[in-house]
Amino acid sequence: MCRLVGYLDEPILLESILVKPVNSLVMQSLHARESSVPTNGDGFGVGWYAPELSPNPGLFVSIFPAWSDRNLIHLTAKIKSQCFFAHVRAASVGGTNSYNCHPFSYDKWMLMHNGDIHQFSRIKRHLRHLLDDTIYNSIQGETDSEHFFALFLQLSQGQDFTNLTKIADIFEQTLRTVERLSQQYTDATNPSYFNVCITDGKRLLASRYCSDKNTAPESLHYLDNGNFNDSLNIKGVVIASEELTDVSNRWQTIPANHLILVDEDLSITFRGL
């Protein structure tokens, strides 16, 4: 499985979370601690917001392993953002090319995913039939994750997202639609995993979910307004596949089959799925 990190609060250097911690995302690309697949070397991506320039995020993706990409080290030391996503990939659906690297973006939205949709090839065509031409033609890669994102965007058309709970409603509708397609067109012998993060640059939503309620979802933790470590004081919210520091009592695990909703004021609520 892949590994991911999301951040929301005051602008900080990206390296503060992606490079410097003892169990940073760069470290997890080579040796993940909480995954049955320790190496995530099939590319990486970083997406960040600079609202003074545009409401839409900037993206940097690469098919090279994060641990060996010097550009990543240099860029994260020079870019500050109040909201950013980062992802290291262990390919499941889709080959190793830049179009399959997370995060994915469309207008102000950004999404990344750790997990997989079981037998996605059997539902891919049926999912695409639910998309209008604009959303359909925005798909550039082959991954189940980007198609999940496209369906979320389709269901978002005409919605009022003033309240974060409405984003959660559309996310859950997207999830249930994929589950319905899976039940209809696959043998459902294995579960699907949905550790998904979505943001509009101001708010953040993340899921920790497995379609089989008797199977544990993939790991997902959060840090809420606490010290990242003794030398770096980060007061925002961090969502991460793995605890980035060795101070475990500062991290909390997102409950299985729940959404975590982080609003603009950094207030956190949970919602069962």
Per-residue pLDDT of the chain (273 residues; tens, 9 = 90+): 789 999 999 999 999 999 998 898 888 887 677 766 666 657 899 999 999 999 999 999 988 888 888 999 999 999 999 999 999 876 666 567 788 999 999 999 999 999 999 999 999 999 999 999 999 999 999 999 999 999 999 999 999 999 999 999 999 999 999 999 999 999 878 899 999 999 999 999 999 999 999 999 999 999 986 656 555 566 789 999 999 888 666 889 999 999 999 999 999 999 999
- Residue spans per domain, the chain: 3-114+192-272
Classify domain 3-114+192-272 at the CATH superfamily level: Aminohydrolase, N-terminal nucleophile (Ntn) domain (3.60.20.10)
Q: What is the pLDDT of residue 162?
A: 95
- Residue from 2, 83, 101, 210 carrying the catalytic annotation: 2
Parallel/antiparallel/unpaired status of strands 80-88 and 3-13: antiparallel
Is 101 a known active-site residue?
no
What span, in angstroms and rounded, lies between the C-alpha atoms of 221 and 216? 14
Beta bridge partners of 204: 199, 262
Q: What is the pLDDT of residue 250?
A: 80
Alpha-carbon 208 to chain mean position = 11
Q: What is the pLDDT of residue 267?
A: 94
